[in-house]
Amino acid sequence: MPTIGIFVNLQKDRYLDVTRQLVDELTHQQADFYLETSIAAALQIPELGMEEEELYRNCQVLMALGGDGTILGVARRAAPIGIPIAGINLG
């Protein structure tokens, strides 16, 4: 299974409810995933944190949780290096 990098827009998932659900499901599926360092710390799982640049370098799939801008921003950075993304649009 590929390593997944997760980006979260805190303005769209202010209390990290959606992020927590995703983390719980990925953990249940025994997926290999990482979050941005600040998000991992907020969820009290700092061992799953990586700096943004590291996520782009070390992950084979990226997930973006936020609005159109968040998803497009991750897509712009991922496309030149050939990393597929999945977006969860939170409005």
How many C-beta atoms lie closer than 10 Å to residue 16's C-beta? 17
Query: Could you say which of 17, 24, 32, 68 is catalytic?
Result: 68
Spatial strand order in the sheet of 49-50: 49-50, 33-36, 4-8, 61-66, 85-89
**Which of helix, strand or coil describes residue 58?**
helix
Q: Please name the residues in contact with 42: beta carbons below 8 A apart, sequence gap of 6 or more.
A: 16
Active-site annotation holds for 32 = no
Active-site residue list? 68
